[in-house]
Structure 1
């Protein structure tokens, strides 16, 4: 998890109940207690009122009167927020409810003239094209799902599957994951007793049952979605890249492959494709040294492709 994502998650956790010990926060965020202390200090620098009690069980408390500090953005922050809202409004990531566009218009009216000018320059230089395969999801649905995850409450999920069959699933929501231009809900299917992934754009209704969730030993939500997305290919490859994990995830997004660190500077990736030729093309586009671990047929396909590329044309 990036530092920014971790800070956002920490604020969310602190808001969920009156007090947390350092140890509880470390377990909830899957980080060290030292990291929690450092992140608490960073949030205080950003204006969040976080109180700490004395002793090992004193805990941290987010003051309710400062859960949302006054909005005071510097130039780069204002431009970053405006660009992000513009992207959301134009791509329809949150559906057609125009919430992002409304927020963007309000923000533009508050921006200093020189920042508004920079944003205008950005607008003039950028062309927006539709993203293939992207299905917008209503921000109302996302907020309901996120609220259920945070509130740890069981829900009745009205859902339409890929064959457009309607059903109502009783689930314990755990996390929302965005990858490959889609949102996915990771939840425990109560009836089946299995962890499942649900596309948020196929959710037609969310109803809270009032019962608390019964989640134990939750999975890595992002990995579960990645496994689901890479589980239906006829051909798979396992390769070794001499790059650290964070760089490997930039080259092959989590939704396109499964990543396993092999030391601090090496990552093993499993990815799927429709045939060996497609995998060769994808791996060559990484523009970084690749060691093919399996299958052997992929190594042969690599050699054949490279031999064809290196054939010299006869001299005239």
Structure 2
């Protein structure tokens, strides 16, 4: 019998978070208390904001349902380890959809994990190898969690940094946001030594250290960390404009390309056009466009047109067919290149 009310409430909450309906009699047996005590404990949980739904009947049941706010969760050891491992695996690469919010969740979870569970998480991750990984460099999850904690806590962050040419330096910053491009993680922060805003590739960061010194956030010039990163990246590297037409609705194409490549413009309900700029290699962009899985035509630049045409011929030969150099009538002649896929029209 659980006589400690807080401990009993946590045990009851843990049971209710299992997606099923619990008869009052079964809860009474599990907790070793009377049904009347179970009803009182249910009322206490409701007062704390947990939406517990009761059903009528000879042995009325209880179920935790969705409410207006997200109440605190109670996880057992196995659930906590599983969630931490999953978040770590996603945070190690800048996977689309795994953004700063998931890294903050990982930071919160690892902060309260008992040492025995933290050791299990590290051991399990070290003993497994993912079949696939992101396009960018891998990052230690601990690096991201330290940064995310400093962003959320408005705490100054110190770290070692290696620039693109390999020059080492030490930085003291006021971190603003972590941004994922779908390939890499970047930190947008105010560099106190240089007295200016900077972006840092997280895979070039080492020894991140939370100083404990709090700061009042400054106003970012662009207002958006993602926009600041985009402008910063385009200033630092040579970019080129590209123009691609897809034989698929704009929504279909947008869902299959990184948002930072731009938004496709609808031509009609069956096709769209994407005109934007990129700083990545034409090889990477060609493969990324082909992964949209629909017919498309590349209109510019000439380097991308040529690479798409060569790639198409190479893939045709790899599939046992034959391909001749040069454009076809469907691809728009010598000035355009395209790869065909399943038609979306």
What TM-score, normalized to structure 2?
A: 0.46
What TM-score, normalized to structure 1?
A: 0.49
